[in-house]
Amino acid sequence: MDNHRSQKNIDPFFPRSWQLAHEMVLELGPVSRIMGILNVTPDSFSDGGNFTTVGEAVDQAARMVDDGADIIDVGGETTKPGAIAIDRDMEQERVLPVIRSIKERFDTIISIDTYRSDTAQLALEAGAHLVNDVGGFLFDKKMASVVTRFGAGACLMHNSRDRDVGDEIVSDQIEYLCRCVLTAKNSGVTDSQIVLDPGFGFGKDINDNLSLLEKFGLLQEIGFPLLAGTSRKRFTGSVLGEDDTTENRDTVTAATNVIARMAGCAIFRVHDVKTNRLALNLADAVLNTR
C-alpha cells in the first residue's frame, strides 16, 4: 500500500468527489459533512428502542435532515460491546422498509450500516447510496464485489476487536486500513468510492481513543477522506465524571469533532445533528480564513 502512503501531501480540505450509487456524488473537503445515525434497533447503546417503527424512523430522519444532516446512516444491528448478534433476516426486516420510505420522502443520501453483503445488496437495491461497514470489507469477502457492482460509496472502518493490535496506534491504523483498501480495490472498488473510519471504540480503551483523536491528522498519510464516529462513545463520558449524561456527551462529541475537523476529517457520524452542525460551522469558518 505504499502507493497510498505517497499521497500524504494531499490537502484534506481540497474538494474531492465521493462516488456513490445511483449516480450520486458528494463533495468532500471544503465543508464538514454530517452523517446522522438512525438506529432501528431495540438495543443500541444510546438510542435503542427509540425508532423501531418505520414511522418513528422516518420522522427522525426528517428531523436530522432539517438539522443539517448530509447522510442518513440506517443500522439494524447494534455493535455495542457484548451485544447478541441477530440474523440477516431480522436485520433486513428492520432496515429495508425504512430505507424505502426515506427514499420516497427525501432527496437525501442514505447509508446502510452493515457488515453483511446480502443486506448491503438489498439496501442498495432499495435506494441506499453507500455501505458503512464496521468490518472494513474483511468480515464478509463478498462485500467489495457488491459495492463494485452498484458503484456505491464505501466507508471502511478500523476494528480492534478480537485480534492482535499493534503497540503503536497510528501504525496499526495504517496497516489495518490499508489492508481494507487493498481488499476493496482487488474487487474493483475505485479510490473515489472509499472513505476511511479509524473506528473510535471498537476494542479501544479510553486512552487509545484519546490518543487516536490527538494523532488524527497523521491518518491523512493513507490518502483517503476520513470519517469520525465518536458520538456518545464511552470515552466521551470519561471526561464528564458525575455529569455523564447523554446531553453532555453530545456536547463533548461536538468538541471531539471540531478537533478532528481541524486535523482534516471530512465526515462526522453523530446522533445529535444540530449541536454538531453548529460546532462544525465554526470550525469551517476558521478553516476558511486560511
Catalytic positions are: 233, 269
Distances (CA, A) of 278 to 56, 160, 220, 252, 283: 25, 31, 25, 13, 9
Quote the cell numbers at residue 162: 478480537
Sorted by sequence, the CB contacts under 8 Å of residue 101 that are 6+ apart come out as: 54, 57, 58
Q: Report whether 178 contacts 1 (CB < 8 A).
A: yes
Q: Which helix (H) or strand (E) holds 19?
A: strand 16-19
Report the C-alpha gap between 251 and 256 in whole angstroms.
9
Q: Report whether 37 contacts 73 (CB < 8 A).
A: yes
Report the C-alpha gap between 51 and 237 in whole angstroms.
23
- Give the Cα-Cα-Cα angle 47, 48, 49 (nearest 5 degrees): 110
